[in-house]
Amino acid sequence: MGIISALAIYFIIWWTTLFVVLPFGHRSQLESEEVILGTTSSAPAEHRMGRKLIVTTILATVVFACFYVVTQVYGLGPDDLPHFIPGT
């Protein structure tokens, strides 16, 4: 795997992980009873993006490391998965 491919795969894993991490610890303005005029009540009271970006980076690095070990060290790929053909 080349460096460009590794960076592209890491970026995809990081971006997907961000959407997994975003809802963690979400507390809406309605739940905290501090609805700001002009915003929706489901908007986050505190977004804490710095913490979420750090958690995303750590989690994405762990997932990428697992992906790297499986594909590069053990040599497994999509062709190694068993094919299921219905009706056979």
Q: Is residue 19 part of a domain?
A: yes
Q: Is residue 14 part of a domain?
A: yes
Polymer length of the chain: 88
Which domain covers residue 33, as residue numbers?
3-74
pTM for the complete prediction? 0.76
DSSP state for residue 48 in the 8-state scheme: -
Check: CB of residue 67 under 8 Å from CB of residue 9: yes
Q: Is residue 87 part of a domain?
A: no
pLDDT in tens, 14-62: 999 999 998 888 777 777 777 778 878 778 877 788 999 999 999 999 9
pLDDT in the model for residue 9: 95
